[in-house]
């Protein structure tokens, strides 16, 4: 691991003094908070006429040497995040000295082996955005700003980040999605020990119940199918949910499928054949039940128009109406949800209609397919997962029975592996 200092040009024409930590091919830049007028004023890690900057350089170099010596003496593998935390902190390193930028770095490393490239790219975009925000703060608000510390986060700071996002011309949906990604990063930071406690001001934002970890049972799905409504909009949203229960499609895949995706499979039975939207090139073939075929025929216009073209483009709008529909249908089973905040978690109870979402259709599909006799390995293929562990997250039944279950015929559908 090495530490070097260099100048980074600002829009104003001045230069920011930056420390670069480098370890195993990975660079990590940390602004020092000092501005240099000209490149000529910086030579061999010394800033002409700026004793404060020189003292900081000396201090950071000494602390870096201390950390390197500590790792050598204790046979501990150097960690670039710990090094930055130790060197840049005012006192002996505290885990809370990590910034959101550091947390993004850590989360990206965490998901590289388990998530597809598209998902990893989303968080790399978030990291670049946070870096832009940090530079904006340095240039316009506080020249000594060294990144948003995890232990200093509050709703006000998150609002400032959102406001900066809007000034870049982004719409509200993009801003909300970005904040959701930040919440995910913060939860991982707490789990990884980068911050001991998530700040109380933003804990309520992190305590959203996990709405994707339960499924409807057969009786509840039957009750939902028999629900009648005179509202065409509600009928469409309800049919979209039922279609997801019958096919296991994600919301975005649901929005993209067209009548042209309906084919005859090798058994001459109706099926959907499509590319998953979630950054995958894998082609899925999913059998269509009679009810799923009926729903397609109800809404299809032509081969080129998406079947659910009249649905709202965002899941939130659909989820809001589903909550009302489920309440009117009397679907109020109590659901236990494990609400997690950092390292702490507790079980809370919600009525089903309070936490229903369109994605529950996919969980219902996974659970009911197992209960009807399909093997979990075949279910993995039908749902387009690369790992069995991911599929098991959609099975809300006896996991041992699911793993050992044999392949059997479903009611009126002969299940096949994905082509």
Q: What pTM, to 2 d.p., does this model score?
A: 0.50
Overall average pLDDT of the 40-54 stretch:
86
Please report which confidence band the pLDDT of residue 115 belongs to, taking 50, 70 and 90 as the band edges. confident
CB atoms within 10 A of CB 123: 21
Is the residue at 410 inside a domain?
A: no
Pair (232, 336) in one structural domain: yes
Pair (155, 229) in one structural domain: no
Domain closes at, from 143, 177, 206: 206
Structure token digits, residue 300: 């299809």
Please report which confidence band the pLDDT of residue 299 belongs to, taking 50, 70 and 90 as the band edges. very high
Number of domains in the chain: 3
Residue 208 has pLDDT above 60, yes or no: no
Overall average pLDDT of the 359-385 stretch:
89
Pair (163, 262) in one structural domain: no
Structure token digits, residue 67: 């950390």
What is residue 97's predicted lDDT score, i.e. its pLDDT?
A: 62
Q: Which helix (H) or strand (E) segment is 49 a member of?
A: none
Q: Which of 263, 356, 272 is closest to 316 using CA atoms?
A: 356
CB 42 within 8 A of CB 17: yes
Q: Which residue has the higher pLDDT, 344 or 274?
A: 274
Pair (61, 47) in one structural domain: yes
Please report which confidence band the pLDDT of residue 326 belongs to, taking 50, 70 and 90 as the band edges. very high
Q: Which of 418, 419, 410, 372 is closest to 289 using CA atoms?
A: 410
Q: Which of 297, 320, 319, 174 is closest to 251 using CA atoms?
A: 319
Overall average pLDDT of the 30-39 stretch:
85
CB 259 within 8 A of CB 315: no
Pair (238, 358) in one structural domain: yes
Q: Which residue has the higher pLDDT, 289 or 335?
A: 289
CATH number, position 169: 1.10.150
Please report which confidence band the pLDDT of residue 413 belongs to, taking 50, 70 and 90 as the band edges. very low
Biggest distance spanned by C-alpha atoms of the chain: 83
Pair (25, 173) in one structural domain: no
DSSP state letters, 92-117: S--GGG-BHHHHHHHHHHHHTTTS-H
Residues of the domain holding 65: 1-93
Q: Which of 201, 219, 265 is closest to 419 using CA atoms?
A: 265
Domain closes at, from 28, 63, 93: 93
- For residue 121, what are the contacts with CB-CB under 8 A and spacing of at least 6? none
- For the chain, how many helices (H) and strands (E)? 17, 10
Pair (280, 192) in one structural domain: no
Alpha helix segments (H runs only) across 148-192: 155-167, 172-191
User: pLDDT for 137-147, tens place per residue?
Assistant: 888 877 767 77
CATH number, position 289: 1.10.443.10
Please report which confidence band the pLDDT of residue 257 belongs to, taking 50, 70 and 90 as the band edges. very high
């Amino acid at each position: 691991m090495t530490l070097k200092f260099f100048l980074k040009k600002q829009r104003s024409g001045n230069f920011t003094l930056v420390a670069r930590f480098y370890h195993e091919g990975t660079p990590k830049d940390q602004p020092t908070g000092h501005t240099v007028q000209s490149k000529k004023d910086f030579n061999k890690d010394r800033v002409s006429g700026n004793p404060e900057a020189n003292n900081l350089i000396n201090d950071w170099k000494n602390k870096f040497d201390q950390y390197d010596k500590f790792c050598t003496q204790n046979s501990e593998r150097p960690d670039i995040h710990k090094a930055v935390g130790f060197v840049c902190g005012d006192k002996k390193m505290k885990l809370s000295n990590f910034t959101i930028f550091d947390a993004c770095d850590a989360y990206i490393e965490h998901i590289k082996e388990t998530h597809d490239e598209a998902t990893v790219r989303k968080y790399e975009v978030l990291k670049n955005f946070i870096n832009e925000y940090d530079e904006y703060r340095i240039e316009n608000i506080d020249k000594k700003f060294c990144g948003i510390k995890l232990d200093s986060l509050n709703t006000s700071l998150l609002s400032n980040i959102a406001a900066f996002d809007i000034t870049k011309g982004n719409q509200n949906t993009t801003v909300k999605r970005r904040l959701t990604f930040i919440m995910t990063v913060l939860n991982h930071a707490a789990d990884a020990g980068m911050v001991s406690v998530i700040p109380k001001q933003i804990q309520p934002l992190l305590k959203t119940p996990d709405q994707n970890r339960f499924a409807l049972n057969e009786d509840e799905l039957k009750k939902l199918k028999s629900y009648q409504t005179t509202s065409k909009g509600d009928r469409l949203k309800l049919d979209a949910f039922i279609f997801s229960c019958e096919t296991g499609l994600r919301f975005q895949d649901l929005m993209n499928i067209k009548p042209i995706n309906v084919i005859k499979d090798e058994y001459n039975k109706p099926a959907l054949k499509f590319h998953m939207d979630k950054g995958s090139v894998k082609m899925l073939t999913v059998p269509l039940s009679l009810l799923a075929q009926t729903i397609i025929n109800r809404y299809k216009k032509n081969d080129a128009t998406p079947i659910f073209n009249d649905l709202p483009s965002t899941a939130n709008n659909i989820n809001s109406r589903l909550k009302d529909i489920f309440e009117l249908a009397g679907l109020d089973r109590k659901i236990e949800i494990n609400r997690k905040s950092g390292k702490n978690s507790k079980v809370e109870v919600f009525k089903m209609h309070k936490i229903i979402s369109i994605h529950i259709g996919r969980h219902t599909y996974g659970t009911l397919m197992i209960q009807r006799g399909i093997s979990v390995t075949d279910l993995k293929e039908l749902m387009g997962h690369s790992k069995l562990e991911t599929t098991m997250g959609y099975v809300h039944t006896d996991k041992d029975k699911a793993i050992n279950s044999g392949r059997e015929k479903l009611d009126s559908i002969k299940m096949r592996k994905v082509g």
